Amino acid sequence: MHDDLSMDGDSESRDFQAFYICEYQATVRLAGFLAGDRSVAEDLAQESFVRLQDTCVCLENSGGYLRTTLVNLCRNHHRRTGREALRLVRHGVTPTVVSERAAELDATLQRLPYDERAVVVLRYWLGLSEAEIVAHLGCRPGTVKSRPARALGKIRK
**Interatomic CA distance for residues 125 and 66, integer angstroms:** 16
Q: CB-based contacts of 141: which residues, under 8 Å, 6+ apart?
A: 130, 131, 134
CATH fold of the domain at 111-157: Arc Repressor Mutant, subunit A (1.10.10)
Q: Is the pLDDT of residue 152 over 90?
A: no
Q: What is the mean pLDDT of residues 72-94?
A: 71
pLDDT of residue 1: 35
CA-to-CA dists, residue 55 to 13, 50, 51, 60, angstroms: 11, 10, 8, 10
For the chain, the structural domain boundaries read 1-100, 111-157
Confidence of residue 29 (pLDDT cuts 50, 70, 90): very high
CATH fold of the domain at 1-100: Rna Polymerase Sigma Factor; Chain: A (1.10.1740)
**Which of the listed ranges 51-65, 74-88, 122-136 does the model predict with the highest average pLDDT?**
122-136
CA-to-CA dists, residue 25 to 28, 59, 73, 145, angstroms: 5, 21, 17, 28
